[in-house]
Amino acid sequence: MIKLIATDMDGTLLNAAHEISEENINAIKYAQSKGITVVIATGRAFYEASTPMAETDLKVPYICLNGAEVRDESFNIMNTSHLNHELVERIKAILDREDVYYQVYTNRGIYTEDPTRDLDIYLDIARNAGQQGDVEKIKAGIQKRIDNGTLKIVDNYKDIEDIPGELIMKVLAFNPDLEKIERIGKELSAISSLAVSSSSRGNLEITHSDAQKGIALETIANQLHIDLQDVMALGDNLNDVSMLERVGYPVAMDNAMPEVKAIAKLVTDTNEHSGVGKAIIKVLTEEK
């Protein structure tokens, strides 16, 4: 019996407009009415993940930054995992050597040395999701994030560690050369203290090895005294694999990567057609 549900955001719960459909909202509320805990599990930082959720009246726990930060329904931080100086230096050395652009995610914001390069990241994410990115809309979104302080411009990433209280929690690297990205991913994965995943072809999400969606979800399940066989997880990309392979009911979106579909018990509709809501209702209805 399903007692806990975890859903990814981009390419899963959110549509191309980064909105949560009424069908998805109603299905989550239905699950919650049955006493089921529904968790957001995303590569986004909390300040990015909470924006589309604020348009709804849903109250849920959050697994953010692929598990580097966990928050409860009241947004209280329950757990964090960050990259120490040595790991940051090893990551930067490899990415700089290969001339790969990257952003640095901290507990307070996202840092970039060149916001014009950020446009490439968001266009690539849209393209790999089968969507046509709106350049002007994305540019406006980047500027809005700069204006509200969630995207910070820094002359050199080395300056971040000099800021009191700033913790580096994730590095997001991007390059259109897929062979290069794959090679770098393998090199970084060989460092035992790192977890390397991807939220889109052409990018690498680099966190501490303790910071994975699956580990965070397992911790939440244990705290709630829920067996992982009674957990449902939904996702579309490689950074969802660690949770999908742990749970009793893994669900892949129809727009998911083949590697994700291969481990799923159910392939639901696309993120554009409320696949999350459809899967929740299907599974809970079949349990009656």
Other C-beta atoms closer than 10 Å to the C-beta of 112 total 23
Calpha distance 91→94 (Å, rounded): 5
Three-state SS string over 70-124 comes to: EECCCCCEEEECCCCHHHHHHHHHHHHHCCCEEEEEECCCEEECCHHHHHHHHHH
pTM of the model: 0.91
Sorted by where each starts, the structural domains of the chain and their CATH numbers stand as 4-80+211-287 (3.40.50.1000), 85-208 (3.30.1240.10)
Most confident of 112-121, 148-157, 192-201: 192-201
The per-residue pLDDT for 123 is 72
Question: Residue 260, Cα to own-chain centre: how many angstroms?
Answer: 15
Element (H, E) at 37: strand 37-41
> Position 7: which residue type?
T
Give the active site residues: 8
Convert the pLDDT of each residue in 212-269 to its tens digit.
Answer: 999 999 999 999 999 999 999 999 999 999 999 999 999 999 999 999 999 999 999 9
Burial class (CB in 10 A: 0-12, 13-18, 19+), 141: middle
Q: What per-residue confidence (pLDDT) applies to 115?
A: 82
Read off the pLDDT of residues 50-104 as tens digits, 9 standing for 90 and up. Answer: 989 999 999 999 999 999 999 999 999 999 999 999 999 999 999 999 999 999 9
